[in-house]
Amino acid sequence: MEAHLVLLVVAFGAMPPYSGYAGETASIWFDERDREATLLGEKIETARAKLTASGISYEVQEFFCDFPWAPDLLGQRAMYADMTIIGSEMTADEDLRGFAIDGVLFHSPTPALIVPKDSSPVWPPRTVMIAWDAGQEAADAVHKALDILKAAERVHVAMVDPVALPGLQGEEPGADIATYLARQGVNVTVDVIASGKRSADEALQRHGVDISADLIVMGAYGHSRMRERIFGGVTRAMLEHAKLPIFLGR
């Protein structure tokens, strides 16, 4: 793609100890921080060697911080990129995934590409599925992914049990977004999915596999992030059970 890669090699440090045995626990904490910093340095050198051999334009930066500051600091780095790729190792860890997605989506204007475990992304993707609900978050994701959609061979606007009502999906669900994309030169079709006894995320994941999608484009957190964390939601379920790479906007 002739892009410049900024690789963040990430380590999160343990929080300082709070106990009645301050001297002893502080010593253990300092030793652990030194071990984490040494391990981070080794990973940086390994990554730098691989990227040098690849011949691409790159830089490697270390990212060592305490958990509470991770979203702010990740967001600061993400502001200067076109897209932030969250790799499979971080995606597989629920805590790390949450920090990374919060940092990218809610502390910067940058979209995120989530790579699930055991996934081999096809780039640029030939077949793209848009998880569409006519919400602002989904629309934001579509606009941010527009160059990707234009380059794809096929784009499917997928809706689960859409409601044909003014103010929601319109009288013909999916027609408006399909018309917009077609005017942009996108080869687009509208797929209406009946959920049956499946949840919305299960229906979307299954449809993505059925149409051999290389990428899912969707908006994140249709409800408040706190509500999503407490009660779940399609966004969280899609990320937890992802089989395909997901392009997230908000």
Q: How far apart are the first and last CA of the chain?
A: 25
Confidence category of residue 115, pLDDT binned at 50, 70, 90? very high
Residues 6+ apart with CB under 8 A from 21: none
Please compute the mean of the pLDDT values over residues 113-126 and round it to a whole number. Answer: 89
Please compute the mean of the pLDDT values over residues 36-64 and round it to a whole number. Answer: 89
- Indicate if the pLDDT at residue 227 is higher than 60: no
Nearest to residue 186, comparing CAs of 244, 134, 127? Answer: 127
Q: How many Å apart are CA 112 and CA 81, to the nearest integer?
A: 10
- Indicate if the pLDDT at residue 14 is higher than 70: no
Q: Beta partners for 16?
A: none
Stated pTM of the model: 0.84
Give residue-wise pLDDT tens across range 56-82: 999 998 887 776 677 888 899 999 999
pLDDT at 211: 96
Q: How many Å apart are CA 78 and CA 94, to the nearest integer?
A: 20
Please compute the mean of the pLDDT values over residues 193-210 and round it to a whole number. Answer: 92
Confidence category of residue 36, pLDDT binned at 50, 70, 90? confident
> Rounded mean pLDDT of the chain?
85
Nearest to residue 10, comparing CAs of 60, 62, 46, 54? Answer: 62
